[in-house]
């Protein structure tokens, strides 16, 4: 309580559209400024460091395609989280769903898997990955709907279960006998690999699928009955129930979208980048998806931009680290900081300070 300078927070009557658009940009600039302090403390020139990040992320054909390759799974896991959080299904398990999607696609895409012609195999494997992700999320959701078990805990812990399961499979039944003892799964056959978007790079057509997925999610959320009911269930469950929205069924559908997108991310990563599963297939794409979704304020189109930002930081910081000797963990710090500044910025699009 200050000396006559008491500040009060007031809910804004309208969220000014200009502010809604500029808030994320301001948030990211502030985050970059704050991590600049850390870079300076590490003894490196700040502006040059950021320049290095940009060059390393986009400075060459190789760099740019690499950044976009990393953007692809982040878009899909970001969407998976955004869809779930919108309806207040707290899916922290995108990482696990990613891996079961990947594992399922690898298993059915290998020599002993589905015997389908090339044009049908890719869509079939994407579907397989999505279904695997869906099943993995429906388990904890069923526990929540039936017994009220908090899905934050169950989805989070399932990630570790899944990772150990993947380990077991690629050391055992699915182990590639030709991999010189490395723990990796049998590879998918050539027909199951996604076409490259740019020759002689890792960038594959999965990026296009991811962006299309974002558009579809956007349309479904804003234009369909299901989207409206899912938002209602998230914003005010008792009002939704009163209006006759079947809450359980709606949340199950939401979980199908969410788990399916995360599983799809895993399948696409296997078919597009590596061709087989290892336990480092994902450097935390599922968890980063949470950050991406929050950065995008759960907006499906915002997810695309947020995923690009996160990928830029992750890819760019490696190059910067090599050039200037600043630890590449600075990328994690910057992304985490931008999440915090974003939350503050979003707060001020809804509230204002009054003296």
Partner 1 sequence: MTSSPVLRLEGITKRFGSFAANDNITVELARGEIVALLGENGAGKTTLMNVLFGHYVPDAGRVLVDGRELPAGRPRAAIDAGVGMVHQHFTLAPNLTVLENVMTGTESLLGWRSRTGPARRKLTALAERFGLTVDLEARVGDLSVGEQQRVEILKALYNDARILILDEPTAVLTQPEAQRLFEILRVMAAEGLSLIFISHKLHEVLAAAARVVVLRAGRVVGERAAKDTSKNELAELMVGRRVSRPVREAGAPGEAMLTAEGITVRVDGVRRLVDCGFTLRAGETLGIMGVSGNGQTTLAHLVSGLVHADEGVLTMFGERRERENPRRLVALGVGRIPEDRNSEGMIGDFALWENAVLERVRQPRFSRFGFVRRDAAKAFCAGVIERFDVRGGTSDTRTRLLSGGNMQKLIFGRNLATTPKILVAAQPTRGLDEGAIAAVHEEILAARRAGTAVLLISEDLDEVLALADRIQAIVNGRLSDPVVTDAIDARRLGLMMAGEWAKAA
- Residue 244, interface with partner 1 (CB under 8 A)? yes
| Residues 6+ positions from 212 with CB-CB distance below 8 Å | none
| Min dist. Cβ of residue 41 to partner 1 (A) | 33
CA distances from 55 to 67, 145, 329 (A): 11, 49, 18
- Residue 7, interface with partner 1 (CB under 8 A)? no
The residue range among 73-81, 197-205, 223-231, 318-326 that interacts with partner 1, by the rule CB under 8 A, is 223-231
Angle between helices 17-41 and 46-58 (to 10 degrees): 110
Measuring CA to CA, which residue among 139, 130, 141 is closest to residue 90? 141
Q: What is the distance between the terminal CA atoms of the chain, rounded to a whole angstrom? A: 12
- Residue 249, interface with partner 1 (CB under 8 A)? no
Backbone angles phi, psi at 115, to 5 degrees: -95, 85
Residue with tokens 């962006």: 211
On whether the CB atoms of residues 110 and 188 are closer than 8 A, the answer is yes
| Min dist. Cβ of residue 299 to partner 1 (A) | 14
| Residues 6+ positions from 274 with CB-CB distance below 8 Å | 281
| Min dist. Cβ of residue 208 to partner 1 (A) | 24
Question: Which one of 13, 111, 119, 178 is in contact with partner 1 (CB under 8 A)?
Answer: 13
Question: Which one of 22, 60, 167, 236 is in contact with partner 1 (CB under 8 A)?
Answer: 236
- Residue 16, interface with partner 1 (CB under 8 A)? no
| Min dist. Cβ of residue 226 to partner 1 (A) | 7
Question: Which one of 66, 95, 176, 229 is in contact with partner 1 (CB under 8 A)?
Answer: 229
Bridge partner list, 8: 354
- Residue 215, interface with partner 1 (CB under 8 A)? no
Residues that bind partner 1 (CB under 8 A): 1, 3-6, 8, 13-14, 223-226, 228-229, 231-232, 235-236, 238-246
């Amino acid at each position: 309580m200050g000396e006559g300078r008491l500040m009060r927070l007031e809910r804004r009557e309208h969220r000014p559209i200009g502010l809604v658009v500029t808030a994320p940009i301001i948030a990211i600039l502030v985050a970059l400024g704050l991590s600049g302090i850390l870079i300076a403390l590490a003894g490196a020139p700040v502006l040059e460091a950021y320049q290095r990040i940009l060059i390393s992320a986009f400075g060459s054909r190789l760099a740019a395609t690499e950044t976009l390759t990393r953007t692809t799974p982040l878009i899909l896991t970001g969407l998976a989280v955004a869809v779930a959080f919108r309806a207040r299904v707290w899916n922290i398990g995108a990482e696990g769903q990613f891996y079961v999607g990947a594992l399922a696609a690898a298993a059915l895409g290998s020599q002993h898997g589905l015997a389908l012609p090339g044009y049908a195999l890719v869509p079939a494997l994407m579907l397989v990955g999505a279904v695997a992700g869906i099943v993995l999320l429906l388990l904890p959701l069923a526990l929540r709907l039936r017994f009220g078990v908090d899905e934050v805990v169950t989805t989070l812990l399932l990630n570790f279960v899944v990772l150990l399961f993947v380990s077991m499979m690629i050391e055992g039944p699915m182990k590639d006998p030709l991999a010189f003892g490395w723990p990796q799964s049998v590879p998918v056959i050539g027909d199951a690999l996604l076409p490259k978007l740019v020759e002689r790079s890792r960038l594959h057509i999965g990026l296009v699928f991811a962006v299309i997925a974002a558009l579809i999610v956007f349309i479904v959320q804003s234009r369909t009955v299901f989207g409206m009911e899912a938002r209602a269930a998230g914003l005010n469950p008792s009002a939704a129930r009163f209006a006759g929205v079947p809450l359980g069924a709606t949340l199950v559908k939401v979980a199908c979208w969410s788990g399916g997108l995360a599983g799809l991310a895993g399948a696409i990563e296997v078919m597009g980048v590596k061709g087989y599963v290892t336990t480092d297939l994902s450097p935390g794409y599922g968890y980063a998806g949470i950050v991406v979704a929050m950065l995008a304020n759960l907006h499906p189109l915002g997810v695309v931009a947020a995923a690009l930002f996160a990928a830029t930081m992750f890819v760019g910081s490696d190059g910067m680290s090599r050039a200037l000797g600043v630890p590449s963990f600075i990328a994690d710090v910057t992304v985490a900081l931008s999440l915090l500044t974003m939350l503050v910025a979003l707060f001020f699009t809804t509230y204002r300070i009054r003296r």
